[in-house]
Structure formats: structure tokens, C-alpha cells
Structure 1
Amino acid sequence: MKTFSFIIFMILNLSVVYAQQQVSPADKRSTIDTLLTRIENHYVYPDVAKKMTDAVRRRMRAHVYDTVSSGPVLAKMLTEDLHSISHDGHLGVEYSVDVIPNEKPGAPPSQQVIDDFRRQGANDNFAFRKLEILDGNIGYLRLNIFWPGDWIKETAAGAMAMLANSDAIILDLRDNHGFAPDGVILVESYFFKEETHMTDQVNNDEHTMRQYWTLPTVPGNRLADKKLYLLVSHDTFSAGEDFAYNMQAQKRAIVIGEATGGGAHGTRPYRIGNHFSASIPFSYSINPVTHTDWEGRGVQPDIVSSKEQALLVAEVAIIKDMLASAKDEHPRKYLENLQAQREKELNAIKVK
């Protein structure tokens, strides 16, 4: 049972937190005005930017925000209002209890910040979360974030070396939320023999376009001759979708799972108040094969499956493919038994 003093402490502590989250009418007005200016100046599609800012200004004139005094509630409300027009998963407003440093927009982070961030990634093995050889000599890698290519090159080389003797490879992106385009390019490069044009990024802020090609060389083994299967889900987002979409467009991988989240825009953070920041998309992708991207639609899988079933569905597809080319009786029998086992496991999941 909690003591009376503990309950008093919690009440006082919650009161402090509540007080820290309050926003004055003047700060609220200033934050919203700055947000709208940032969107007008930087959002990737000017016509959509105008629709969003007009909608928020109409709500201001209707006094919709007048009674909102909580910083987190205001941030959530503004995000929802912007999403109702743009449907852009990269666009959003965040509240911070701590004062946000007043840095110049677009200024690079300090070396200390970069070093701390890199250590954070290294402590998580740069999101190379699981690596193993499954039954049937199927290589499996679960990768949850694409960290910068220069940071992950040793980790990637080690993972690819372990996968090099596999007969087929499954790359699991079901919980990959993106991050670094050059990390995407590094991993993609392992699966091509020649330099290949993967995507273009159009920067609306700077009126420039940058092409992304696979690298001429990679650390360690290439896996260009390996059949590749990608697992995706509705939680796959941003750079994770970039990888799946471009590999699918190049017909270099079979995509299995659910339609992905649908976020194709490059994004920058902006300080819009002492306690508020906004993530505002400034660029979009153009695939050289499809001449479009996956924004708002997501990557559409070649084989539809639930998130929970996707791995087993991939294994069954690979085993069937192996059986089609297996001639000797012993490996055929092994693969037939393995297929029956995996299908039984898959059916068990379907029953649930």
C-alpha cells in the first residue's frame, strides 16, 4: 500500500509536470504563426502548403485553439489538422518540456551531438537486430533502421559475409522506420553487380535534384546472385520503404507482407517556439523505373500477408522455388518435409 507521503509527492510532482506543459496565449499565437510561415516557405508541395495554412488560419479565426493551454495537446492538435489536409506521415509538431536551443535552421549539429548519436547507434548494433541461417540454408537479417552508410559499413560487411553462402536471403524490414538514404544505398549495393540508378531526390527548398546509384565497390562480399525476399508491414516507413520500393522496381526482390506506411518525403526539423518544433518535408523521390514514388500509397507487396505470417510465407515461397530445381531425391525429400512443417506452422497462425 502506498504511503500518504508518497501520494503527496506524486501529486506535487504531477503538478510540476503539468505546469511545465502549459503554454501562454502569446506563445501559442507566436508558435502557430511561425509554424505556418515555415510550412509556406519549406513544405515540399506549395499548393498543399497553402491549403494547410489556410485551414489552420480558419480554425484560428473560429477560436478553435483559444481554450488549449497544454503544450502536448496543442502539438497533437496542430499535427492532426495538418494531416487532415496533407496526409503526410513525415509532417508533425512536437512539444518539449525543455527549452529547444535557438539554432540557425539547417545548421549542422555539433561534433559532440554527432558522436553521441553514433554511440547510441553502435550500442544498438546499428539496428542489425537479428542474423541467422534458417533451415533450408535460407539467410535471414532483421534490420530495423538504416543508419548512415559510413557508420554501418563494418557491421554490414560482417552480416553480408555470414549470408554469402545462403541459397536465398530474407531481409526483414517489418519494423524498419528509415533514417539515412546513404545507409539504404550501401545495403542495396550488395545485391547488384553493376552500378544501378536507384532513385532521384528532388529538393524543393534548393530547387535541385540528386541521383542515387548503387556503389561501385562494397566492403566484403556482394550477394548479387542471391534471390532476395523483403518482409514489410504497415509499420515499415520512410527509408525502409525506399529500399523496398526501389528493389521491387528493379525486379531485384520479391516483397512480402502488408502495404507499407506511405512516407516518401525527406524531412527537416525546425524550431517554431521555445518548446515546440516541427518536422517539415522538403523533398520527394522519383524512381527511374516507375517515375513516381510511394507517398500516401505505400509499397504494395508482391505477395500479400499479415505482418505475423510474412516470415513463414517467405520461407514457404523459397522452399517451393528450391523444390522446382531440386533433382536429387534426398534434398527433395528434405525440402518437402520442411515445406510441410512450415505450412503447418503457417496454418496454426491463420487459425489464431
Structure 2
Amino acid sequence: MKNKNTLFCLLFLFISILTSVAQSNQPTVTAMEQQVVIDSINHLLNKNYVFPETASTMANLLSANLKKGDYTTTTDAVLFSERLTSDLQSISKDRHIRVRLNPEYIKEVNESKSQNPNNNQIPPAMLEELKMKNYGFKEVKILDGNIGYLDLRNFEDPQFAGETAVSAMNFLANSNALIIDLRKNGGGSPAMIQLISSYLFTAEPVHLNNFYFRPSNENTQTWTLPYVTGKRRPDIDVYVLTSKGTFSAAEEFTYNLKNLKRATIIGETTGGGANPGDELIINDRFTIFVPFGRAINPITNTNWEGTGVKPDIEVPASDALFIAQQKALEKLAKKETSNPQSIYPWLLTSLKVKQNPVKLDEKQLKEFVGSYGSKTVTLQGDKLIFSLSSYRQAVLIPMGGDLFDVEEKLIHVQFIREGKKITGIRIENVNGNTESYKKLK
């Protein structure tokens, strides 16, 4: 896809940063400006919107409403933009279409173009905001069992975010499984989809998606890249987490991997926005995001517009990470069924306990407090704290009875009870080694 097209999602995602919302002086709109705005919107839709007939119907609706006086009482500029958005979406059902009161953004764009008329870059303030958000890479870490985890909030264009993306994927390169969390991802650049996807396949290019763009009457294709910096991982299981808020480019990434059978999708059906476009200036105060293209998946010959991407495992978004970890550990455990020292069954048990810990009241918790040889158990709030040494502590998580899991350690602590009295502890690690200590009086 051409560079000018890969920037559209950057503008769409971060336009709200510079959007002028209801201010203390409540910006208003006159009848004359309403006429100008609607005439401009109709021109932009008829020239650019991907479906010409729908564009004409939307334009006719706005003109008819204006003529009937439907907007006469809507003098608040923000409410006017919201009303136009609602009217346009009532026809198109296209969630990408949105009118905004946007004077600061327009000012940034105009100043940038006045300095360099051929400049297609995003405004400096928006670029600074991308940096502040680490280009959408919110969190990268390794979970128990060497499961890689990437919390990605946006797919920013590689010309800005490429270095960060490469660093993140290389950090995860030695994982035994990979979870990509898109539950809070609102979209972005197809070029970043291409880059990240390339790490999940071999060097042989894989056809990801097709696009049709109405203004240029152009068809384009996206494929995985023949070269990436670092290690590819076509061999590991990938889990993609989704929510109702997963949208646009985040949906494309999910849809691509699902249909290529390269990932297991876990969570909720996504938002349903498949038509790429651009933020266009209406006048000196308003903008409109106009979808001028549509995705055409090479496997399904359609896309997710209006329907969203249905997950393979449908669960509430809040449960998706736990389910993904569970599925990853279960699959890794199956690969090591002949290994008696496999850590995965242990980790799976610990994960389930952490997800649904046994509840103990204060009286029950106090039973376990005390000194056990060189180890101590103290009560801090509603948590038991286990001192592994003079400088290492960890939370004990009840597993039922007198057995506890040690948070972030491959250790279980079994309290020894004689009658109703606790007399000691036995510590067992994942390898089966044990240590026993008597409770000190």
C-alpha cells in the first residue's frame, strides 16, 4: 500500500487528541456555517466514499434535513457534529464515518502544509503524542511458562513505530507461545500489520489482504515481508485477544490470522470496521473521516465490515487473558507428557488458583502466622506474606485446605497440622524437592 494510504489510520486514531470538544464558552454554529459544512461534506462523500450510491444517499439525507430545518435548533457545534455523524451512520452503517469539531487539528495541518506544501507527514503535535504513547506498544513481557505477552493499543505506521515494533518482537522471540492483546486497540496502519505478521511466518511471503480504493480506482495487496530484523517464529502458537472495542486495523490483523489459521482468537466479537479512509477538512473548524476503500480478504473474498470478527473461543473480554494463558499452558503440557519434570501442569494449577483463589477470613489467616525455622509468615492486610529469606518475600495464595501457592515462584507451601494446631510447613518446588520446618514457639 502506498505511504499516503498508510497514514490514514494514524490520523483517525489520534484526531481526538487535537479535537476541540465542548469548551467553557460552548462553541456555536450558525445557519450559514451549517450550510457550508453540509455542502462540503456532500462533495467529499460523493467524490471519495467507497460506495458511490451510499454516498449519494447520505448526501441527499443531509440536504433534506437541512432544508426541513432539522438542524436549526442544533447550534452547539459539538452536538451538530454528533448529529451529522449519527445521520450519516444511519444510512451507511459505517462506524468509520465521523464528523468532528476539529479546529486545532486543522490549524496544525494547515501550518505544516504552509511550511512544506508537499509534506504528507502527520502534524508535529500528533507525532509527539505517538511517542508519548510508545507508538501503541503498551506492555511487552514474559508470563509464567515462557509465554510472551504483547499489549498493543494501536498499529502505528512503521516509518514512526518500526524500531519499537522490531524491539518488541525480538524481545518475544524466545517465547514458547505468544499472546497478542488487542482488547484496547482501535486500529492503525496496514503496514504495521504487515510488519508484525511477518514475524509469525517463514520468509516465504504470505498473502495477507487486498484493498480497493475508489478515488484512484486502484487494487492493492499486502503480503508478509521477505526480510525482518531478528528471529521469525512460525512455529509457536499465537493467541489474539479481542473485545467489542477492537476495531479497524486491529480487526484486520485478527481476521487475517484467523483465516490463515495462524492464531486462536479469544474474547468478544470485534467492532466491525473494515473500510479504510482519511480525515478530510470540511472548513476551518470541522473535519470528517471518509472511508475511501474496502478490504477484500483473499481467502473469504469479503471482510468484517458491520459484522466484526467472531472469536474462536467466545468469552467476556475480561476473561480472555486467563483463558489464553490456560490454553497455552495446556497445549505446552501436552507436548511434554513424557517429561515427568514438566513445569506446565504445575503452572496450570497455579494459574487456576490465582484466577479463582480460595477466600479465607481473618481468623483463618491468623492460624498460619508464625516463624518456621528461617522462614516467617506474616499477615499484611488480607494477605499472607511468606519470607523466603531476609530479603525475599512473596504472597501466599490459598489453594484449599492448608496448601498455598507462592506468587511468582514455582513453590507450594503445605502447612502441617496436628489435630487443630499447625506445627510446621513443607515447601515443595516444581522439581519435586522438599524442605520441612517446624513451627517455632
Give TM-score, length-normalised by structure 2: 0.70
CA distance in 2, matches of 1:200, 1:62: 42
CA distance in 1, matches of 2:198, 2:249: 15
CA distance in 2, matches of 1:169, 1:320: 14
Amino acid across the alignment from 1:171: I
Aligned match of 1:9: none
Aligned match of 1:147: 156
**Post-superposition offset of 1:119:** 3.8
Aligned match of 1:338: 347
* Residues 330 and 15 (structure 1), Cα distance of their counterparts in 2 relative to 1, 3 Å cut: closer
Amino acid across the alignment from 1:68: T
Aligned match of 1:78: 84
Aligned match of 1:264: 274
CA distance in 2, matches of 1:55, 1:72: 20
Aligned match of 2:54: 48
After superposition, residues 1-352 of structure 1 pair within 5 angstroms as: 17-18=25-26, 21-98=27-104, 100-101=106-107, 109=119, 113=122, 116-193=125-202, 194-326=204-336, 327-331=338-342, 334-347=343-356
Q: Tell whether the 8 Å contact from 1:137 to 1:168 is kept in structure 2 after alignment.
A: yes
Q: Deviations over 1:22-41 (max 9, x none)?
A: 11111111111111121122
Please identify which structure carries the higher helix content. Answer: 1
Amino acid across the alignment from 1:207: N
**Post-superposition offset of 1:70:** 1.1
Unaligned runs of 5+ in 1: 1-13
Q: Deviations over 1:159-216 (max 9, x none)?
A: 2222122111111111111111111100011111010110011001110001111100
Identify the structure with bigger relative contact order (alpha carbons < 8 Å, sequence gap 6+): 1
Please identify which structure carries the higher strand content. Answer: 2
Q: Deviations over 1:301-330 (max 9, x none)?
A: 011111110000001111111122212112
Give TM-score, length-normalised by structure 1: 0.87
Q: Secondary structure at the match of 1:330?
A: coil
Q: Secondary structure at the match of 1:100?
A: helix
232-241 vs 150-159, which deviates more? Answer: 150-159
CA distance in 1, matches of 2:23, 2:299: 56
CA distance in 1, matches of 2:309, 2:235: 24
**Post-superposition offset of 1:347:** 4.7
Q: Secondary structure at the match of 1:77?
A: helix
**Post-superposition offset of 1:276:** 0.9
Q: Secondary structure at the match of 2:279?
A: strand
Q: Tell whether the 8 Å contact from 2:169 to 2:196 is kept in structure 1 after alignment.
A: no
Question: RMSD over aligned Cα, in angstroms?
Answer: 2.1
Q: Tell whether the 8 Å contact from 2:103 to 2:284 is kept in structure 1 after alignment.
A: no
Amino acid across the alignment from 1:63: G
Structure with max Cα Rg = 2
CA distance in 1, matches of 2:350, 2:105: 56
What is the number of equivalent residue pairs in this alignment?
A: 328
